[in-house]
Amino acid sequence: MAELTITDQNFDSEIAQSKMPALVDFWAPWCAPCRIVGPIVDELAKEYEGKLKVGKLNVDENSQTAAKFGIMSIPSILIFKNGTPVKTIIGAQGKEKLKKEIEEVLGS
């Protein structure tokens, strides 16, 4: 699956109205921990294809959506179910930790 870029303009159609649970990585190009998490998020997108929609939102270019969800620290990963954030993971986390969080949401 190609990387899904989330913007202020497409957030509602891609995430809020998604029938599938979704993970959004809030990041910025200048953020070193974000560059560590980015490839992990890409791997998760492939692993959970068909079960979880995965996208990335650049907070510098899409401040409206970042503000809406109170993003103060990046990287922040929000997992949405029925358009509502059900989990927030702040800071660089390893793949296993993220998988555990995803499995909890998919299993609920």
Domain holding 61: CATH number?
A: 3.40.30.10
Among 22, 23, 24, 31, which one carries the catalytic annotation? 31
Among 6, 15, 24, 34, which one carries the catalytic annotation? 34
For residues 38-53, average pLDDT: 96
Catalytic (active site) residue 34: yes
Tell me: pLDDT of 1 over 70.
Answer: no
pLDDT category at 3 given cuts 50, 70, 90 is confident
Number of domains in the chain: 1
Give Cα 106 to chain centroid, integer Å.
Answer: 14
Tell me: pLDDT of 108 over 80.
Answer: no
Which domain, by its residues, includes 63? 4-107
Tell me the pTM: 0.95
For residues 27-46, average pLDDT: 96
User: 22 is written with which tokens?
Assistant: 């979704």
Q: Is the peptide bond before 85 cis (omega within 30 degrees of 0)?
A: no
Catalytic (active site) residue 31: yes
